[in-house]
Amino acid sequence: MDTRSPEAATNPPMATTAMASTSAVGEVSGVVPEAGGPEIAFFDVETSVPQRAGQGHALLEFGAILVCPRRLVEVASYATLVRPADLGVVSAMSVRCNGITRDAVAGAPYFREVADAVHTVLHGRVWAGHNIVRFDSARIREAFAEIGRPPPQPKGMIDTLPLLTQRFGRRAGDMKMASLASYFGLGKQRHRSLDDVRMNLEVLKYCATVLFLEASLPEVLTVENLVGGAITRSQVNGAASPEVPKPEAKSSPDSSKRQRTVSRVSNAIQAGDNQQSIDPAANNEPVELISNMEEMKLDASTQMYANSSAFSGFLMPDDVSTEFIKIYVPSSNQFAQRTYIHHKDSLLQLCCTSSQVQFGVSTKFLDNAGRPKLNIVVDIPDNIREVLEFCDGIAQRSSQESGSTSEWIPMVKKYGYVNRPVVRLQ
């Protein structure tokens, strides 16, 4: 019996892989074409949540749909639970995140038993998914490495998280899948692989439709009304808008006497393999803002008075005791969860003098409208590093306990050639 749609049945036959719907290979819907086909593979993985430093993510579920790139319809799907080598990694926190229990994966196949099917679905195709570059594809590579097999290779990759953030703007808050689904009224994200990839495809269709309509009637359906009247990238790379004049350079008579503590980064600071230099010259980006900024330094000898309006409410790092630092997470935000750090029941605000600031513009860091951002990196002393790392640690634990599975990006980074750690201002 031909289970294809009437339209699909009229198309020329293609090489396919028969995979029975058993627990040994997972659940298959439709006929999965051989690897290397023209279909786009939307996929998602669910993993355990690491409980300690150095512990990795154990793969618990893989789900994918193959989508016709011309019609954007699902032609086949594949999903399977995966039994981890150690069932103990399925913690209560993991269950809260995705609902996958130890009992659910206890009878599931090990990854080596489903590796062939996963390879067939992914290899040689265009991969698509939400945050797949930083998370899902990395978990796939790790899973294949653990069984000593080469991983599948993509023909291309579409990560809808940065794509939609750049093209659609942050209209849906943090642009996570749950926020996007809520924005478009698509229901609640279940955090199960197959459900999530199907929701991902629907979100992509909705975003594309909105952008298409806005492009059709730009005078009526203007995106500026939704993203706060931001200028376009063409205005950044070309002539500035008449309403936004370029700032005039101003310098004080004694500016040459100031110690040089603010400078452009020169092909030096990088944040791991996934970030580029923030040197503006390397990216041929406009630097009008930078060229008109005065070099400045907050002198360490400046007296700070408790009743001074300039520093009221701010603490020096040495005045902060970590035992009084608490985290506060309000539940009123509809989309993005914002975390507040308190010290003795007041919002923790730090003041640090004599800090070296380096800055530049890079296309690696974009704002909500897709424009290159001014990127600022601050060299910090040990006393403020200790406070920031403590705050970062309790914020990370709070995020994990709330059910988040997003990769945590630490606030403070240390670079081998720098004597002191640095913090990147967001």
Separation of alpha carbons 268 and 277, rounded Å: 7
Q: Which helix (H) or strand (E) holds 393?
A: helix 382-401
Nearest to 39 by CA among 18, 64, 62: 64
**Among residues 119, 123, 130, 191, which one is catalytic?**
191
Alpha-carbon distance of 93 to 48, in angstroms, equals 8
| Residue closest to 31 by CA, chosen among 57, 1, 72 | 1
Nearest to 137 by CA among 59, 202, 81, 201: 59
Q: What is the DSSP letter of 350?
A: B
Do 201 and 74 touch, CB atoms closer than 8 A?
yes
Neighbours of 299 (CB within 10 A): 10
| Contacts of residue 385, Cβ cutoff 8 Å, sequence gap at least 6 | 412, 420, 421
Q: How far apart are CA 14 and CA 31, in angstroms?
A: 10
Helix axes 160-168, 193-216, angle to 10 degrees: 20
Is residue 36 within 8 Å of residue 124, measured between CB atoms? yes
Strands 262-264 and 356-366: parallel
Give the burial string for 350-386 (b: 16+ CB within 10 Å, else e). bbbeebbbbbbbbebbebbbbbbebbbbbbbeeebbe
Decide if 123 is catalytic.
no
Cβ-contact 88, 140 below 8 angstroms: no
Element (H, E) at 112: helix 111-122
Q: Which residues are catalytic?
A: 191
